[in-house]
Amino acid sequence: MNLLQDVLNRDVRAGARLIRWIDDGVGEARAILKQLYAHGGKAHIIGITGNPGAGKSTLVDQLIRRYREQKKTVAVVAVDPSSPFSGGAILGDRIRMQEHALDDDVFIRSFATRGHLGGLTSTTADVVYVLDAMGWDIVIVETVGVGQDEVEIQRLAHTTVVVMAPGMGDEIQAIKAGILEIADVFAVNKSDREGADRTVRELRLMLDMGKETIQHQKERVCPPGWMPQVVKTVSTKGEGVDDLLTALTDHQKSFQDACQNPAFVTARLRRQFLDIFRRTLFARGWSYLMHEDHLKQIVEQLQSGSSDPYTLAEQAVKALGRF
Amino acid sequence: MNLLQDVLNRDVRAGARLIRWIDDGVGEARAILKQLYAHGGKAHIIGITGNPGAGKSTLVDQLIRRYREQKKTVAVVAVDPSSPFSGGAILGDRIRMQEHALDDDVFIRSFATRGHLGGLTSTTADVVYVLDAMGWDIVIVETVGVGQDEVEIQRLAHTTVVVMAPGMGDEIQAIKAGILEIADVFAVNKSDREGADRTVRELRLMLDMGKETIQHQKERVCPPGWMPQVVKTVSTKGEGVDDLLTALTDHQKSFQDACQNPAFVTARLRRQFLDIFRRTLFARGWSYLMHEDHLKQIVEQLQSGSSDPYTLAEQAVKALGRF
């Protein structure tokens, strides 16, 4: 297949098309994903997350520039569960693309999915596999907000950065949402603002207090023993970006050293498989429900009160096997 | 079964036990859920969401008091995706329980699930069905944070309240996270703080700008034509709680009037079924993978590079049918 070959040759337009297919759920994408899979595993995948307004995009732009200075190729996928109000994804995308429009070694795409409400989970992982197989040195996954998405990103990324801004209540958010356990590096951005030093202090204190829990969590991922770093940045002025880059490179090195360990490789493959299995299962379940008005019949039974949804769900899952 | 009867008689200890069974995934819970289901559909379900620090818990306490003055019985389930750091759920629970300890017509439980990382989604819906069947007049579901959880809560609740505090960056969050579309009522809490009036103005402006989108969204839920209300509160002093209660009652009325419409009933039953179907499908998939080392064999094939996870997932889903 031509598209496969073009994607493997890091053809930007072919990559963009395949990603669009994945986003739209085009069936052909899956056949290509199967063949692409063996070509991945070389990129360093960095997840960047944090609340809106923390300055993630500007920070990512700074990182792109630094990685380009090091002659590394960079792909960025911004996962934006945007509401119809924001339209931020598309707009931001265009502005950011412009700066790197003439640079073939930078690839930026936004991706509006947040998992279909019908129950399918996000296909961000597939997009990351594509970028990995394309041969980009650095793949950055940027996500908005704090929640389920972030946990998924951490499972996908090799290095996870949480971006915070002082005085936004982010500190409390951090404890509540379990962000302390997922971050490998914290960037306290907008650190020329009042309260930045306090945010840094509080974070370090919380990390110290939670040391054992964090290390326990980290043991299950990689590298074991890594303690999250806290870095101050002012992304609009480029301040602290070198420190951030150093922290990222340190983590990448320690990741590469430690994570060749077979136990971690196994855990990673297992997680990857479970994610794909879950999505395949959903897709099949959905096809069954759509087939011959199955779902409609089920809802009619619920309306008439002749059965309950738990019993009907069990029957449908059983019938799925004969389908 | 005794537990079923006790739960239907609104026995608080029986209810607490069943909820614990659901949380722990005890198999017997499912049999009871099937029988409970027909007894539900009477409670008014209110979802309350917002960032940590916005003052949700205090506001819920105020609401409990007002509903009790109206002789309504109230159950509260607080869904707290707590990290090992916070332990907030349990602590807050105890403090809150104390005030109402002698009141048999108030039931408060925290619930720490956030959906198992293995892929099972939250069982909050099951807990709400139990409370509904128990016969509480008002069931309040309180959730922390902004994200997937909130969307789920909106699908579960009849009336959704988003609590915001001025100056916490909540306004930006609102647009980004699509919170504008899910709220039926906004409570701008801590409104004695500077910036409260600006927050209210901005929210109203955003709602006005997004009017068409919101009404389009609302049409799919219920009641059609409802425009989100914005109410100022100071929960610690009880200020504005009457206004909030009026907004809630207005929405409840318009919900009850409009939502007897067969199309909405059907849509609701459909959503309910899909949620339960999804969870049943997961549970079955997981049993298959755990059976006879299936998952282990799959991971071994991935390690040896003899296949890719997409192909293996398809094979597993097919084999599930013969399992």
Q: Does ipTM come in above 0.85?
A: no
Q: Which residues pair with A229 in a beta bridge?
A: A185
Smallest CA–CA distance, residue A70 to chain B, in Å, is 32
Residue A292 DSSP code: G
Verify that B254 and B282 share a domain, yes or no.
Answer: no
> Closest residue of A to B209, CA-based?
A85
Percent of chain A with pLDDT over 90: 41
Nearest Cα neighbor of A152 from B85, B24, B114, B278 is: B114
Residues B64-75 pLDDT 10s: 999 999 999 999
When pLDDT is averaged across residues A56-61 and rounded to a whole number, the result is 90
Q: Which residues on A lie below 8 Å from B295 (Cβ)?
A: 270, 273
Greatest alpha-carbon pair distance for chain A in Å reads 68
Q: Confidence band (pLDDT; 50, 70, 90) for B122?
A: low
When pLDDT is averaged across residues B99-122 and rounded to a whole number, the result is 65
Q: Do A281 and B280 touch (CB under 8 A)?
A: no
Least confident of A91-100, A198-207, B122-131: A91-100
In angstroms, the Cα distances linking A210 to A65, A200, B83 are 34, 15, 11
Verify that A308 and A208 share a domain, yes or no.
Answer: no
Q: CB pairs below 8 Å between A and B: how many? A: 232
Residue A113's H or E segment, with its range, is none
Whether B200 is in a domain gets the answer yes
A88: domain range?
2-260
Q: Which residues pair with A78 in a beta bridge?
A: A110, A142
> Closest residue of B to A275, CA-based?
B119
Does pLDDT of A86 surpass 50?
no
When pLDDT is averaged across residues A266-275 and rounded to a whole number, the result is 87
Q: Mean pLDDT, chain B, as a whole number?
A: 82
Verify that A214 and A82 share a domain, yes or no.
Answer: yes
Does pLDDT of A58 surpass 80?
yes
> Closest residue of A to B33, CA-based?
A310
Percent of chain A with pLDDT over 70: 80
What is the tally of structural domains in chain A? 2
Last residue of a domain, one of B260, B292, B310: B260
Compute how many other C-beta atoms are within 10 angstroms of the C-beta atom of residue B281.
24
Verify that A133 and A12 share a domain, yes or no.
Answer: yes
Structure confidence at residue B1 (pLDDT): 56
Structure confidence at residue B114 (pLDDT): 47
When pLDDT is averaged across residues B110-115 and rounded to a whole number, the result is 60
Query: What gap in Å lies between CA B15 and CA B5, rounded to an integer?
Result: 10
Residue B228 DSSP code: P
Q: In this structure, which long-range contacts are made by residues B152-157, counting pairs with CB atoms below 8 Å and at least 24 apart in sequence?
A: B152/B122, B152/B124, B152/B125, B153/B47, B153/B49, B153/B79, B153/B124, B154/B47, B154/B182, B154/B221, B155/B271, B155/B275, B156/B45, B156/B47, B156/B124, B156/B125, B156/B128, B157/B45, B157/B46, B157/B47
Verify that A294 and A199 share a domain, yes or no.
Answer: no
Q: Do A277 and B169 touch (CB under 8 A)?
A: no
Whether B267 is in a domain gets the answer no
Does pLDDT of A241 surpass 90?
yes
Verify that A15 and A119 share a domain, yes or no.
Answer: yes
* Residue B187, C-beta contacts closer than 8 angstroms, at least 6 positions apart: B50, B59, B161, B162, B163, B164, B231, B232, B233, B240, B244
Verify that A181 and A300 share a domain, yes or no.
Answer: no
Structure confidence at residue A169 (pLDDT): 60
Least confident of A252-256, A260-264, B24-28: A260-264
Q: Do the Cβ atoms of B184 and B229 come closer than 8 Å? A: yes
Structure confidence at residue A264 (pLDDT): 79
Whether A203 is in a domain gets the answer yes
The shortest CB-CB distance from A309 to any of B88, B210, B273 is to B273
Query: What gap in Å lies between CA A170 and CA B42, rounded to an integer?
Result: 39
Q: Confidence band (pLDDT; 50, 70, 90) for A151?
A: low
When pLDDT is averaged across residues B88-103 and rounded to a whole number, the result is 60
Verify that B318 and B229 share a domain, yes or no.
Answer: no
Does pLDDT of A146 surpass 60?
no
Q: Do A309 and B269 touch (CB under 8 A)?
A: yes
Q: Which residues on A lie below 8 Å from B269 (Cβ)?
A: 299, 302-303, 309
Whether B271 is in a domain gets the answer no
Verify that B123 and B152 share a domain, yes or no.
Answer: yes
Whether A226 is in a domain gets the answer yes
Last residue of a domain, one of B236, B260, B284: B260
Structure confidence at residue A10 (pLDDT): 95
Q: Confidence band (pLDDT; 50, 70, 90) for A118?
A: very low
Whether A302 is in a domain gets the answer yes
Whether A180 is in a domain gets the answer yes
Q: Which residues on B lie below 8 Å from A180 (Cβ)?
A: 83, 85
Q: Do A308 and B269 touch (CB under 8 A)?
A: no
Verify that A251 and A282 share a domain, yes or no.
Answer: no
In CATH, what number is assigned to the domain containing residue B215?
3.40.50.300
Verify that A13 and A152 share a domain, yes or no.
Answer: yes
Q: Is the pTM of this model over 0.95?
A: no
Last residue of a domain, one of A260, A292, A307: A260
Whether B156 is in a domain gets the answer yes
Verify that B281 and B252 share a domain, yes or no.
Answer: no
Residue A121 DSSP code: P
When pLDDT is averaged across residues B73-89 and rounded to a whole number, the result is 64
Least confident of A36-40, B121-125, B283-287: B121-125
